[in-house]
Amino acid sequence: MELVLVVAAAIIAALVVTTALAVPRERRRAKSVFGASGLDLDAYELAFLAGGPARAVNTALASLAVREQVRVARGGRVTAIADAPTTSADPVEQAVLDLVTRPGGASAAEIRRRAGDGSAVAELRRRLIAQGHLLPDGFLEGARRLNARLRALAVLALAAAAVTLVLIVFTGTLASDAASWAAFAIAAISGGCALIASVTYAASLRDQLSHAGEEALRQARERQPRGVLAHGTAGALGAGGRGESRRGHGDRPVRPGRARRSAPRGPDRGGGRHRPPLLRQRRRVLGRRPLRHGRQRRRRRRGNGLRFERVRLRLERLRKQRLRRWLRRRVRRWLRAGSGGGCRPAGVAGSTRGTPRVPLRAPLRVAGRGPVSVSGSAGGRKSTSRWSGCPVSGSSK
């Protein structure tokens, strides 16, 4: 019984390996059939190759906004500008203009949906297929069928591994020897690898670009760097707008906000960096509007923490500077107040540097006599003081 399980697991593993190798081979064969016509692609054809219909419509919106034919509001409402031309030579731009010239305009999501399903974008797709840059709809069906077979083999292998584990551990039908555990390991490993490969192939089979389309897109990206927000070719390749899929036809995800971070700062929007005063900077940090997406919230939270730390350090340095200034003023005032007399402790000769200065006071007065010094002799006894040359204030009765 154990030997039969080992043989069955080995057969399933062999089928998994052959099917997993057949899927990319069939995909490469289907993509290599088409050849490019050698024509140069315009901005909307490149946009369709980079991100599908949504990227093409977003490129048209960006181009019309740059030419001041449409206005995009903060909430995503797109309206036509008065006294601006409402016609365009490009069919995709004309489809967008037909939607925004209605009373009240249209939202960007509605424009992407309706213009993306319209005849202009469909004609653009047919033109790319005729040029050999895009594959027809059913051209990857063979690779998709192989991928579905691979997914079924993955489910079969995992089910066999689960049954083998139950028979070994829980029911005790199979002996817990090396053959039984080998059958379980072969079935589990082959099923897991088949499942991972099936998910990976399903993502790659959504790409409708041929080898010629991938090469044309790569050359266009080399000519125009990514991350530049502009209309035309740059907007088609690097300006992924809202509503687009994260991965289009052969496209990689575009990091949001890169053009916003590269914009000039400062009150005059010049090239120099503007650093506002401390209190205004604190208000700017505390008064920012919260964001919706979790990644942006976490990014802003980390940035706010750094800003708060910088503000706290600057305030602490300011407090220390003020304390040092106050101490200097107090010491200077005390030294100026003590410099009126020439008193210093007894036994200290020469310079009085580093010793406190004591102001002069009234001399000692003795009853019936004039003022006398404590350093003289009184009644045959010499009186001394620890302050040499300093008269002592007070009176003797």
Average pLDDT over residues 354-371: 47
Parallel, antiparallel or unpaired: strands 70-72 and 371-372: unpaired
**pLDDT at residue 323 in the model:** 92
Max intra-chain CA distance, the chain: 135
* Residue extents of the structural domains in the chain: 2-34+137-204, 280-288+295-316
**pLDDT at residue 236 in the model:** 55
**pLDDT at residue 336 in the model:** 87
pLDDT tops 90 at residue 154? yes
Q: What distance in Å separates the CA atoms of residue 53 and residue 123, rounded to the nearest whole number?
A: 11
**255 vs 340, which has greater pLDDT?**
340
Q: What distance in Å separates the CA atoms of residue 338 and residue 333, rounded to the nearest whole number?
A: 9
Kindly state the tokens that stand for 166.
């139950």
C-alpha separations of 240 from 71, 233, 324, 338 in Å: 18, 12, 54, 75
Average pLDDT over residues 363-385: 45
Contacts of 186 (CB under 8 A, 6+ apart): 6, 9, 10, 12, 13
Q: Mind listing the pLDDT tens digit for each residue in 200-230? A: 998 888 878 888 888 888 888 888 765 544 4
Answer for the pair 46, 219: CB distance below 8 angstroms, yes or no. no
pLDDT tops 60 at residue 373? no
The pLDDT confidence band at residue 271, using thresholds 50, 70 and 90, is very low
**pLDDT at residue 348 in the model:** 43
The pLDDT confidence band at residue 377, using thresholds 50, 70 and 90, is very low
Kindly state the tokens that stand for 248.
């289009």
Q: Mind listing the pLDDT tens digit for each residue in 29-80? A: 887 766 665 667 888 888 888 888 899 999 999 999 898 888 888 888 888 8
Q: What distance in Å separates the CA atoms of residue 116 and residue 52, rounded to the nearest whole number?
A: 9
Q: Mind listing the pLDDT tens digit for each residue in 162-204? A: 888 888 877 766 767 788 888 888 999 999 999 999 999 988 8
**17 vs 341, which has greater pLDDT?**
17
**pLDDT at residue 294 in the model:** 62
**234 vs 54, which has greater pLDDT?**
54
The pLDDT confidence band at residue 376, using thresholds 50, 70 and 90, is very low
C-alpha separations of 20 from 12, 145, 154, 329 in Å: 12, 12, 11, 83
- Other CB atoms within a 10 A radius of the CB of residue 267 amount to 7
Amino acid at 95: A
Average pLDDT over residues 300-308: 68
Candidate from 50-54, 191-195, 242-246, 376-380 with smallest mean pLDDT: 376-380
Q: What distance in Å separates the CA atoms of residue 250 and residue 50, rounded to the nearest whole number?
A: 6
pLDDT tops 50 at residue 273? no
pLDDT tops 70 at residue 27? yes
Kindly state the tokens that stand for 140.
């990857």
Count Cα atoms within 13 angstroms, Cβ side, for 8. Answer: 17
**pLDDT at residue 155 in the model:** 92
**pLDDT at residue 217 in the model:** 84
Q: Mind listing the pLDDT tens digit for each residue in 75-97? A: 888 888 888 888 888 899 999 99
